Amino acid sequence: MKADRIVKPSSLEQAYEILISEKSATILGGGLFLRLQKKHFTTLIDCSHLLSSEILIGDVISIGSMTSLRDIETNLSLPKGLNQSVKQISGVGVRNLATIGGSVYGRYPFSDINTMLVALDATLTFFNSGKISMRKYNEEGLKEKDILLEISFRAPQFSASAFYKKVYTDFSLINLSVSNNTLAIGARPMRPIYLEHVDFSKSPKEILSEVEFGSDFKGSKEYRRALCEARLEDLIYTMGGHHEN
Amino acid sequence: MKINLIVNHNHYDYYPRPDEYLIESLRKLGFQSVKKGCDTTSCGVCSVIVDGQLVPSCSYLTSRCDQKEVLTVEGIPEEARHIAEFITAEGVDQCGFCSPGHVMAIHALKLELKNPTMEEIKHYLAGNMCRCSGYEGQHRAIKKMMEVE
């Protein structure tokens, strides 16, 4: 990553103005994925002093976009599935830097936390575009660049997350998240999809029969389906079902 | 852009490039304990502590360090020696390239977790790679060190 300048705007209005006026200006979240890109940015906009890194717990949970993944991992007032979804994203050092805003805004299909947020039917609040469903954003993105302020969702009665990684700190080959009776599947390797009103008394094979998987250098679609069925069975077991034979 | 970079309690007036990362700045300033490993945020070799938090210095923009406290192995000589004694006693120091990052991760672990379990230790240190040892010796060393303190 190369950059010509880095600015610390005094307000979000100013940050937004710079963001839309320059084609290759971008907002810095944790900066981890930008760091790995071979892009040349005219301007990096550091809004870390303007954006929230607070977690507010209530019937509706809201998480500031600059909240680190490590804070999400260690805040045990958050839904358990959300804690679980981030706990093996690289090491502690990376999770201290990586932000939920960066993960969400990038719409990374391999992201473990994005799959959980799709299951939770989270709402995203942007500076200019206002409130948008995570599911819609995940599918369509935005027409224009924007600044993500907050991620919010209703506290679920039950949530859980599972994944399969070849190495402890690697990207997931497949990830799954459950929120009440909604199941989301990510790293297929396409973007996460969700199934609502899932009958978890059915077998994983039946539940996943309509789900499309793809192949990449990490694994074939058949391998991913097999892994997904196995990890779903594990999730169902944590919910008190299956695993009798 | 001028920043006040605080490394091991010493203040430096520093002018980083917009895309300069902390590892480069620290090494320019003479903190040679900070090693460059993968340079892709994967290995933990370049780990330092910024404002009490373990971070990979290869991915932390220096311009974000204005007025922040950066800690490297040079800033904790007694603690580093203490940790190293336990690691060498288990015979897992070997090439030593990962040791500074590993020492900083162990220091951060001690600051953050009191009486951690073996599982918590392994989880905390999972981001610090070592290509010589099989990790078991390191884990034994840390467990022994934490138990005797």
Complete domains list, chain A, with CATH: 2-46 (no CATH), 55-154 (3.30.465.10), 159-238 (3.30.390.50)
At B44, list the tokens: 């933990």
Q: Identify the bridge partners of residue B2 per DSSP, sorted by sequence position.
A: none
In chain B, residues with a C-beta closer than 8 Å to the C-beta of A45 are none
**CA neighbours closer than 13 Å in the CB half-sphere of residue A201:** 0
Contact assessment for residue B97 and residue B33, using Cβ atoms and an 8 Å cutoff? no
What lies within 8 Å, CB to CB, of A163 at 6+ separation is A85, A88, A112, A172, A173, A174, A175, A176, A187, A231
Kindly state whether A7 is in contact with chain B, defined as any CB-CB distance less than 8 angstroms: no
- A90–B63 CB contact, under 8 Å: no
Contact assessment for residue B137 and residue B56, using Cβ atoms and an 8 Å cutoff? no
In chain B, residues with a C-beta closer than 8 Å to the C-beta of A91 are 44, 105, 125-128
pLDDT in tens, chain A (245 residues): 999 999 999 999 999 999 999 999 999 999 998 998 889 999 999 999 999 999 999 999 999 999 999 999 999 999 999 999 999 999 999 999 999 999 999 999 999 999 999 999 999 999 999 999 999 999 999 999 999 999 999 999 999 999 999 988 889 999 999 999 999 999 999 999 999 999 999 999 999 999 999 999 999 999 999 999 999 999 999 988 877 65
**What is the distance between the alpha carbons of residues B45 and A232, in angstroms, rounded to a whole number?**
35
Provide the residue ranges of all domains of chain B, joining segments of one domain with +. 3-74, 76-148
ipTM associated with this complex: 0.95
In chain A, residues with a C-beta closer than 8 Å to the C-beta of B1 are 6
**What is the distance between the alpha carbons of residues B113 and B6, in angstroms, rounded to a whole number?**
25
- B44–A91 CB contact, under 8 Å: yes
Superfamily of domain B3-74: Beta-grasp domain (3.10.20.30)
**What is the distance between the alpha carbons of residues B85 and A223, in angstroms, rounded to a whole number?**
45
What lies within 8 Å, CB to CB, of B51 at 6+ separation is B68, B69
Cis peptide before A189 (omega within 30 of 0): yes
Please classify residue A69 by burial: count the beta carbons closer than 10 Å to its beta carbon, then call 0-12 exposed, 13-18 middle and 19+ buried.
buried
**What is the distance between the alpha carbons of residues B5 and A189, in angstroms, rounded to a whole number?**
41
Phi-psi region of B39 (alpha: psi -120 to 50; beta: other; left: phi over 0): left
Domain covering B76-148, topology? DNA polymerase; domain 1 (1.10.150)
